Homo-oligomer: A and B are copies of this chain.
Amino acid sequence: MPWLPSNGFSDCPFGALIERLVSDQKIAVIGGTGDLGFGLVLRWARAGVPVVIGSRDAKKAQDAAERANGLLDSGMLPGIETSAIEGMENAKAAAEAGVIVLAVPFPGQAAILKSIRDALRNAAEGPGNNPIFVDATVPLAATVGGKPTRLLGVWQGSAAEAAREMVPAKIPVLGAFHNLSAEALQDLDAALDCDILVCGDDEAAKQKLFPLIQLIEGLRPVDAGPLEMARITEAVTALLISVNRRHKVTHSGVRITGI
């Protein structure tokens, strides 16, 4: 059940504008077939947000979308109108969304960013087009065979700052969703209990993302300051993995007190 029809306005004089407004509210999750991405897709779709799964392989994206729609149909809460999920190739997904979330393992980040660069540039063109880019990449050493409690050194300081170099300058880049348990996120019966630390240098982009975070029950956006703070918010993921090990749990999270 889609939140709004994706193209039902072409016979109306304001069609183009309305379509633009609709797609500005749409979230593309690049890497939406992976654990974190798929979990975000499920949660947003359940909240009625139009969401698109991007993958390098369109077929894989469509399969994941089908699986997600199935999970939502069976696990749908009464009275909540979920949104039908679509799957497509990364660049196509990025081109038609107002919020592009990158949720891929660190070793794939640069190649995927290059592959969607033109699509992002096109998406940012035209009046009223203000897409934002949200990087959720964590440079865990485990992604190249190291320990999950350790981080790789990233020349720019953090994966989010590396993304900033590769995303077209017109599009603001935020870092967020690093510290979420992908396992809990994908289990629609699991209650989430985590703050989302958001870093970035563009205030308007934060104001666009915050309500989308609040749509997912159990999550709260916290403004963590400039993009360079992603050096720390990304690292907190490794800290939580270490806490998980010591406390024999799988989904510790973080809450900021006193704000």
Q: Point out residues on A near B: beta carbons under 8 Å.
A: 149-150, 181, 184, 193-194, 197, 222-226, 228-229, 231-233, 235-236, 238-240, 242-243, 245-247, 249, 251-259
**Oligomer copy total:** 2
Q: Are B258 and A197 in contact (CB under 8 A)?
A: no
Min CB distance, A150 to chain B, in Å?
8
Q: Are B225 and A232 in contact (CB under 8 A)?
A: no
What residue in chain B is nearest A233 (Cβ atoms)? B239
Q: Are A239 and B224 in contact (CB under 8 A)?
A: yes
Q: Are B255 and A254 in contact (CB under 8 A)?
A: yes
Q: Are A223 and B239 in contact (CB under 8 A)?
A: no
Residues of B within 8 A of A238 (CB): 229, 232
Residues of B within 8 A of A229 (CB): 149, 238-239, 242
Q: Are A256 and B253 in contact (CB under 8 A)?
A: yes
Min CB distance, A181 to chain B, in Å?
7
Q: Tell which of A149, A150, A233, A242 has the most Cβ of chain B within 10 Å.
A: A242
Residues of B within 8 A of A231 (CB): 235
Min CB distance, A185 to chain B, in Å?
12
Q: Are B254 and A240 in contact (CB under 8 A)?
A: no
Known: A149-B229, A181-B258. 20 other contacts (CB 8 A): A193-B257, A223-B243, A225-B239, A225-B243, A225-B245, A229-B238, A229-B242, A231-B235, A232-B232, A232-B236, A236-B239, A243-B256, A243-B259, A249-B258, A252-B256, A252-B258, A252-B259, A254-B254, A254-B255, A254-B257
